[in-house]
Chain A
């Protein structure tokens, strides 16, 4: 599904990603852990097409296509989704209108007719229930005045609406209490499937109790320096990252 080969990226001339290799197959959940500044968020941004980064080397293939060649909106329409660490508030753009535009743009891309008003509202209702998003939030402007937890829930709601093939969850657990974490994880797990994959970027092992990964990678200094299974996450939780630095001879 996703093949990243030797990916290097810089921002303002500073190299952040220094040769990432990663392959995600259909149905897999990959966790990416690592200390602050390792390049975790940069990886999500580069994959989803945020401007401001220079790709200096490497390639990324997504569902057989050259991902880096596509605009951000095309990547989304091809089935890529980023749950933002800090979702943006957009006063004046209603969540309903935002989602209707996004869903129908994607349908157009797939050669489908836009959803009828009734069908769209039904879809909204189903997905809201799935992530227990309060109706009043869906009727407001995008993320405006939402609490930290509500914003994350709204991210998963959008993910459920768009049904991506590959979701990148960037620190979705930050700022969530345990109940919210459970609900968000429930939403994510409900969307798991044979042809759907996720990359879960997190600081803490806690989220991985709820979204159980097939693989855990440690991103450090712009590179994946260690790969294991969910047990690796527990080990990191217990020992921190220093032992990895030692292994690397730092």
Chain B
């Protein structure tokens, strides 16, 4: 190994970092991953790090987040984390299988978890070598490298991440909890690439917990491709709780076959900059996507959820419910694109984005974008940006509940509507609890929940 750290400040630096260390980036990756890199680097060079001039990143200029001396990890680096500590901290009383990644890499400390026969859960780098036939035809089929710079950057630098494969007709009862940690002795940039393939009539649930384990400045650019087979059901939950000097960029690309169901829920409690791209293709008749999310932000946090739902065929349903509570000088953005393509008749597409500004300085930009090219369609969208409901507040206070407690009750009620969509009870309870602690400013010291929230 020659270099495992490198420094850069901008688009060209990243391109140079790639071109100048080509052998290292390509090492141990199969030809089809490296072929994807070659294309991606060209797209990335052309697109550049997104600035507000990029319409899709209008409210989130990423340039300043990339202007830092991060270290990158093109090879696996063992991290000094105690597995026991993490196990102790996992969602309590929750029967989950636990998997760790560190700075984008599948941890070598992971132990095999009990899964139904035929199910594969493991490292992308490893499975690309050992079972390429399972994943090669899916890899990089959904990521929009041509138009999205974060996707191109991920494809360019992707070395490892999680592969989850569920064969046809297999139900994975136990939710799988994947803890994505950022841990380092220096400021770091991480790239993680995940690929989930859920077979016909299969069912599974995955919980991502994104955490920082040291106080360094981090930037993560993660991408997940998800294929949900015919009549399959897949739940994907993401708890984001990184410290406020870190940036978390996630891109999730989903393709759904006929009669499949995809449920997603992202809860952002901490994180300096969070940008979640969620692109869903409803590609088979009768598919349904239920997409929800909520964030609590204060300080100078910035949370941006960008959704693009494509109704490619008829008789599909999509529901979006996103809520934000923004305090101090924090800011938020929501974009909800719905594209109903020609002939995608009998489409139901609903979208709601509700936001509470808890301070004068907090800001929210919300933008529904509906393009409807079919005529037999039910679509609705609603966006609200408001202050706390003064009538409700007075009602609670008039019963003897003090101002602080009354506000808390209203905020919890506001966010609970999103949390209640989660279909793992223990996670739901855990989130209600975490959200309350977050509002009270007493987030748990448990490593798994938050560490050194700046």
Contacts and interface: CB of A to CB of B under 8 A. Distances in A.
A142 B397 CA distance: 14
Interface in A90-145: 90-93, 97-98, 101-102, 105-106, 109, 141-142
Contacts of B400: 73, 76-77, 102, 105-106, 109, 162
Interface in B396-416: 396-403, 405-406, 409-410, 412-414, 416
Contacts of B395: 84, 87-88, 90, 142
B391 interface: yes
Interface string B43-63: 000000000000000000000
Nearest to B405: A101
Nearest to A158: B399
Contacts of A179: none
B401 A93 contact: no
A49 B402 CA distance: 12
Given A50-B394, A90-B392, A98-B409, A73 B414 contact: no
B3 to A, nearest CB: 52
B404 to A, nearest CB: 10
A88 to B, nearest CB: 4
Contacts of B392: 88, 90
B176 to A, nearest CB: 30
Nearest to A142: B395
B416 A76 contact: no
B390 interface: yes
A82 B398 contact: yes
A66 interface: no
B417 interface: yes
A198 to B, nearest CB: 16
By secondary structure, the B interface counts as helix
A205 interface: no
Interface string A61-90: 000000000011101110001101001101
A51 interface: yes
Nearest to A108: B400
Contacts of A75: 398
A197 interface: no
Nearest to A86: B391
B409 A49 contact: no
Interface string B411-447: 0111011000000000000000000000000000000
Contacts of B416: 92
A42 interface: no
A105 B401 CA distance: 6
Contact of A90 (B390, B396, B405, B417): B396
A48 interface: yes
A106 B398 CA distance: 12
Contacts of A71: 397, 402-403
Contacts of B397: 49, 71-73, 76
Contact of B399 (A51, A92, A102): A102
Contacts of A87: 395
A183 B64 CA distance: 65
Given A92-B412, A93-B410, A105-B405, A162 B399 contact: yes
A75 B402 CA distance: 11
Contact of A51 (B394, B396, B401, B402): B394
Nearest to B395: A88
A105 B406 CA distance: 11
Nearest to A106: B400
Contacts of B405: 101, 105
A84 to B, nearest CB: 7
A49 B417 contact: no
A85 to B, nearest CB: 12
Given A98-B396, A98-B399, A91 B417 contact: yes
B113 to A, nearest CB: 36
Contacts of B417: 91-92
Interface string A214-249: 000000000000000000000000000000000000
Contacts of B414: 92
Nearest to A72: B397
Interface in A4-57: 48-51
Contacts of A141: 413
B412 A73 contact: no
B399 A93 contact: no
A48 B413 contact: no
B390 A51 contact: yes
A92 B408 CA distance: 12
B391 A93 contact: no
Nearest to B412: A92
A141 B417 CA distance: 12
B400 to A, nearest CB: 4
Given A98-B399, A101-B401, A162-B400, A72 B394 contact: yes
Contacts of B401: 73, 98, 101-102, 105
A93 B413 contact: yes
A76 B402 CA distance: 10
Contacts of B402: 71, 73, 105
A51 B396 CA distance: 13
A248 to B, nearest CB: 33
B398 A76 contact: yes
Contacts of B410: 90, 93
Contacts of B394: 50-51, 72, 88
A144 to B, nearest CB: 10
Nearest to B417: A92
A142 B396 CA distance: 10
A73 B403 contact: yes
A101 B398 CA distance: 12
Contacts of A106: 400
A127 to B, nearest CB: 14
A48 B412 contact: no
Given A90-B392, A90-B413, 19 more contacts: A48-B398, A71-B402, A71-B403, A73-B398, A77-B400, A82-B398, A87-B395, A88-B389, A88-B392, A88-B395, A92-B412, A92-B414, A97-B409, A98-B401, A101-B401, A102-B396, A105-B400, A141-B413, A158-B399
7 contacts: A71-B402, A76-B397, A81-B398, A84-B398, A88-B391, A93-B413, A98-B399
Closest 9 CB pairs of A and B: A92-B413, A76-B400, A72-B397, A102-B399, A88-B395, A77-B400, A73-B397, A93-B413, A73-B402
